[in-house]
Amino acid sequence: MKKILIACRAYFPDIAGGGEISTKTLSETLVELGFDVTILAISDGKKNEEVDGVVVHRIKHKNVYWSFKNKEVSAVKKIAWHLVDSNNIFIEGELKRVLSEVNPDILITSTIEDVSSIIWKVSKKMNIRNIHILRSYSLLCPNANMFKEDNCKTRCALCKTVTLPKRINSSYVDDVVGISHFVADEHLRYGYFPNAKKHVIYNICLGPVLEERIYNGFKKDSVRIGYLGRIHKTKGIDIIFSALGKIEPKIRDKVEVEIAGSGERKYIEELKIIASTFGVKCTFLGNTNANDFLDRLDMLIVPSKWNEPFGRVLIESMGRNVPVAGKKVGGIPELLVDNTDFLFDDEIELVDLISKFVKGEIEFNFNLDEFKTESIISQWSDLLM
């Protein structure tokens, strides 16, 4: 069976978000399929170990700081980090060493930050097949989100300049895998991955923990609507409150809103004031077990303002048999292609959506076939063979 090296910014137990979770899930899945999998992970020290049956080579970062751990740094350091990371010649030697030791047939870069796009050039010189997974916009934008007050329609001069080496190095990639059509197409339209075959493979989200619950519909006198995830201005939580503020009072009085997740205290207090101003009954729960939270809901709303590359929480919600409404941004519409009645563009459309849902005029279609683990595993198996 083929040998695979998966390179990433961080690996379990170093977890910052969905990227690290998806990397671990993918590596363990490939091991189960019979592939010989090794991890190359950036860290703050050098260490070789085995994590849940997967061999992990941790190498010390070769930049001004490790972006996984150092979140609060000066603007000068951030600029320096980005300039180095675009084509990090200082880490080149360590990358060559690990690639030579492992001698893989295939290199998969799962999260490229801190690893540096230079790894594709190094790997290609060793006649290794390169596959890159697009999980964010870090190759296009130093902030990795293509968002400045609103979604960027094009790239600014700073983004183009800082990321130019990444675009050049992307020519060494053989296959590019987007976790949505949207994120893949965004990179291709800016001239990235000119020699790569494009693939779209969704993240594995429906594990055994996401067994469907039995749901008999909401009570007539109470409808519980929720938001699950990071509490940040780009996430559009305020849209839920403003929509409910415009809805007819007899419907608003039935609705209870619950917000699960963490964020800056100051912004959370701002949201509480907004909810109160619109007369919305709302509870902020902080961090809580995702499944337990979803099981309490009648509908989840994903009101993101920025172009989400994927939207894992939508799949998790469907996996718990919870209807989910999503804003028409990024990769979200792809996940709700069978539920266009649950897509909205602005708060006016959300008002209409919530009203119809509460009145029982729209129903959610729980078609999970393309998100099932076996379907996604099959796509990865075909790609790697």
Q: Where are the domains of the chain?
A: 3-206+373-384, 223-358
Q: At what angle do helices 118-125 and 157-169 cross, to 10 degrees?
A: 10
pLDDT at 74 over 70: yes
325-361 confidence digits (pLDDT tens): 999 999 999 999 999 999 999 999 999 999 999 999 9
Given this chain, do its domains 3-206+373-384 and 223-358 carry the same CATH topology?
A: yes
pLDDT at 370 over 60: yes
Residue 60: strand pairing partners? 43
Please enumerate in sequence order all residues whose Cβ is within 8 A of that of 338, keeping only pairs 6 or more positions apart, or say none: 365, 367
CA distance 268 to 262: 9
Quick one: tokens of 39? 């991890």
Largest Cα–Cα separation, the chain: 68
In this predicted structure, which of 118-132, 139-153, 278-292 has the lowest mean pLDDT? Answer: 139-153
pLDDT at 209 over 60: no
pLDDT at 150: 78
pLDDT at 144: 82
Instruction: Identify each DSSP E strand in the chain by its residue range.
Output: 3-8, 36-43, 47-51, 54-60, 106-109, 129-134, 147-148, 150-151, 175-178, 197-200, 223-228, 255-260, 281-286, 299-302, 324-327, 343-344
Tell me what the pLDDT averaged over the chain comes to.
Answer: 92
Kindly report whether the global pTM for this prediction surpasses the value 0.85.
yes
pLDDT at 208 over 60: no
pLDDT at 92: 97
Domain spanning 3-206+373-384, CATH class: alpha beta
* Greater model confidence, 100 or 14: 100
pLDDT at 125 over 90: yes
Q: Which CATH number fits domain 223-358: 3.40.50.2000, 3.90.1150.10, 2.90.10.10, 3.30.1650.10?
A: 3.40.50.2000
pLDDT at 213: 59
∠ CA 375-380-383, rounded to 5°: 130
User: Which amino acid type is present at position 270?
Assistant: E
